[in-house]
Amino acid sequence: MTLDKLRPVADRALAPFVRAADRVGLTPDGISIVAFGFAALAAGAYTLGGAAVAGVGPRQELYLLGAVFVFVNGWLDLLDGALARLQGTDSMAGDLLDHVLDRYADIVIIAGLAAGTTEYLLGFLAVTGVVMTSYLGTQAQAVGLERVYGGLVGRADRLAIIGATTVATAVYPSELYGLTLVGWLLVFLAVVGHLTALQRFYYSMAALD
């Protein structure tokens, strides 16, 4: 989890955007909903980006567009929490909405990647790994521990990797050892997701002993 360690730097970079959002009357919940909208747009772009166009190949520019949407989703995911703290409106209800929409965002983005490549089994393994990672983080809190964010890859890292890989796919759409770069991305998300979930499970069990 490298990017989560940079949260203080991100908070400083966000400060002018947070103040601007507050001035125009935006709310944290509204930003969370808009962030999910960008995740859905990314899923659509990835689905269409992997579709064949007259037998020539994928619509490569759509992978670039999908990457932009993913980065915007991640940016807004940081913005909503910072705005809630500024406005003094952070609440359990807002936290719940944010986490639910984040999970749906993760699911639709990975579903879009899988649909575009027709690698549905890899997509299933990837999305279950991501969901279990998040579940173990919050389940630790449910049994009396602090929410667990540790492990190999957190959400910020995951979005950055998805964005970077789909940009690379726009440049190099050919297969590599039987899979496109997006296919290998799904393999990575599946393996690392489940490993991260197991890391969090082990940490939580050790903390409860």
Per-residue pLDDT tens digits for 73-110: 999 998 988 888 888 887 888 888 998 999 999 999 99
pLDDT at 21 over 60: yes
8 A C-beta contact, residue 72 and residue 65: no
Task: Clarify whether 102 is annotated catalytic.
Answer: yes
Q: How many whole angstroms separate alpha carbon 127 and alpha carbon 69?
A: 19
Q: How many whole angstroms separate alpha carbon 136 and alpha carbon 131?
A: 9
Question: CA 106, 76, 25 angle in degrees (round to 5)?
Answer: 135
- Cα-flanking dihedrals φ and ψ of residue 183, to 5°? -60, -45
Annotated active-site residue in 77, 80, 98, 102: 102
pLDDT at 132 over 90: yes
Predicted confidence band of residue 53 (pLDDT cuts 50, 70, 90): very low
Predicted confidence band of residue 149 (pLDDT cuts 50, 70, 90): confident
Nearest to 120 by CA among 112, 109, 129: 112
Predicted confidence band of residue 10 (pLDDT cuts 50, 70, 90): low
Per-residue pLDDT of 39-51, as tens digits, reads 999 999 999 988 7
Phi-psi region of 88 (alpha: psi -120 to 50; beta: other; left: phi over 0): left
Question: What CATH number has the domain spanning 3-208?
Answer: 1.20.120.1760
